Each structure stands twice: as structure tokens, then as C-alpha cells.
Amino acid sequence: MARRTRSTFKKRQKEMARQQRQQDKQARRLQRKQERQDPTASGVADEDPDIAGIQPGPQPPADDDLL
């Protein structure tokens, strides 16, 4: 009868792993929810960094174009 402890231990480990996965999943859900509510907090900006600071219309000549 002493051999039952191994399966009980495995069952306990399996249950603990399942609970940990649930906690991880819940944390990811909360993080995604917060990112949707405040998109600037996640580092996503509305302005494209490639065109940041460019004004519509004719652009002034660049310094290296003057030569």
C-alpha cells in the first residue's frame, strides 16, 4: 500500500503546474487589457518614426544637397 504515494505526488505536481499556467494566462490577459486601454503605455505611438517631423508641402533642402 505504500506505493500509492508516487502517483499522488505526480498528481499534485500536475495540479500545481495547471494552476501556474492559469495564473500566467490571467496575467497575460490583464496585460493585454491594459495595453488596449492605454496604447501609449506599451510604446506604440501614433506617428510613424520614418516620417516624424516631416511637414506637408515642399521640404527645405538637406545640408548635403547644397554642394
- The string of pLDDT tens digits covering residues 3-19 is 666 788 999 999 999 99
CA dihedral 58, 60, 63, 64 (to 10 degrees): 20
State the pLDDT at residue 45: 60
CA distances from 62 to 18, 30, 66 (A): 60, 46, 7
Q: For 37-42, what is the mean pLDDT?
A: 65
State the pLDDT at residue 19: 98
Q: For 13-39, what is the mean pLDDT?
A: 93
State the pLDDT at residue 24: 97
Q: For 18-43, what is the mean pLDDT?
A: 86
Confidence of residue 44 (pLDDT cuts 50, 70, 90): low
